Amino acid sequence: MDLFNSILGSLLRVYYAAFSWAPPAVGLTVLSAVVGVTMLWVFSKTSDQARMKAVKNKVWAALFELRVYVDEPRVTWRAQKSLFLANLKYMGLALKPALWMIVPMGLLLLHLEAFYARAPLPVGREAIVTMGMSPDWNPAAPAPELTAPAGVKISGGPVRALDAREVSWRIQPVSEVSGKLTFLVDGQPVEKTIEAGTRQRFVAGRSVRSAMQALWTPDEKTIPSPRVEWIEIRYPEASLPILGLQWNWLVWFFVVSVAAALLLKKRFGVVI
């Protein structure tokens, strides 16, 4: 899992770096449009276009009947039934292309979170870093030791939460930082990246030990220590200033990708 995450993450880092000259929204917009066109192509190749066109014609015919024969209950009921059945058929036909797209789309979105969902820690503001311990953790044993990179001050901790099996520290960036926190757990070093400053960039989420969990939090290599299940820094959420508004990156991604697909469907002759 580490190898797969590393390859996909590296490709996205190269793409992100290519747009380092522009606001993050520019790179996200281009990527969203490309994804929209790709989804359109996959949809055209994996769906039964002839049957979808026939079903859409039935939908329009039923809507026309509802509009014209609004005062005739029997015809209206027949049109409503036809419309309902046509919609069911459409959803069934759309299921196959959706299944083709859901896995690669999900993996892409999970990796994009590190670039657009989290903002670096503000300089001067304290934050909490928490380590989740394994079930065999002995809370009476010495706590893990934390060493911070230059530019980060450890202002509190370690604090143990026994029931939750967690150890937390309070940290404070005093300058812009792109480095690593190092934890010493039973003599074994465990690292966690930290980002602080104003520039939007790759900000890793939770680090995990389980290869299965790394599928959902793919930003860093799995934790090597058997005593640690996860490590997390509480970063603020990021937003994208676009058209005078603050957008959640995921909302903007879907707006642009869907718009690109809809605008180009006729050009490519695709029935959606």
Give pLDDT, residue 197: 96
Give pLDDT, residue 71: 78
Whole-number mean pLDDT of the chain?
94
Region 27-56 average pLDDT: 95
Helices assigned H by DSSP within the chain: 2-18, 24-46, 49-68, 73-116, 249-264
Give pLDDT, residue 121: 98
Give pLDDT, residue 2: 79
171 and 150 in contact (C-beta within 8 Å)? no
- Provide the token pair at 27: 């790179």
Cα separation, 37 vs 49, whole angstroms? 17
pLDDT score of 1 more than 80 = no
pLDDT score of 70 more than 80 = no
Give pLDDT, residue 28: 98
Region 6-20 average pLDDT: 94
Give pLDDT, residue 75: 82
pLDDT score of 44 more than 90 = yes
Give pLDDT, residue 66: 84
The CA distances from residue 203 to 4, 59, 235, in Å, are: 19, 46, 8
Kindly report, residue by residue over 78-98, the tens digit of the pLDDT: 889 999 999 999 999 999 999
Q: Helices 24-46 and 249-264, interaxial angle, to 10°?
A: 50
pLDDT score of 227 more than 90 = yes
Kindly report, residue by residue over 150-191, the tens digit of the pLDDT: 999 999 989 999 999 999 999 999 999 999 999 999 999 999
Q: Enumerate the domain spans of the chain.
A: 2-117+245-264, 127-233
Give pLDDT, residue 107: 96
Cα separation, 187 vs 144, whole angstroms? 9
The CA distances from residue 259 to 225, 237, 268, in Å, are: 46, 25, 14
**222 vs 140, residue with greater confidence:** 222
pLDDT score of 207 more than 90 = yes
Q: How confident is the model at residue 109 (pLDDT cuts 50, 70, 90)?
A: very high
Give pLDDT, residue 226: 93
Kindly report, residue by residue over 232-253, the tens digit of the pLDDT: 999 999 999 998 999 999 999 9
Give pLDDT, residue 272: 86
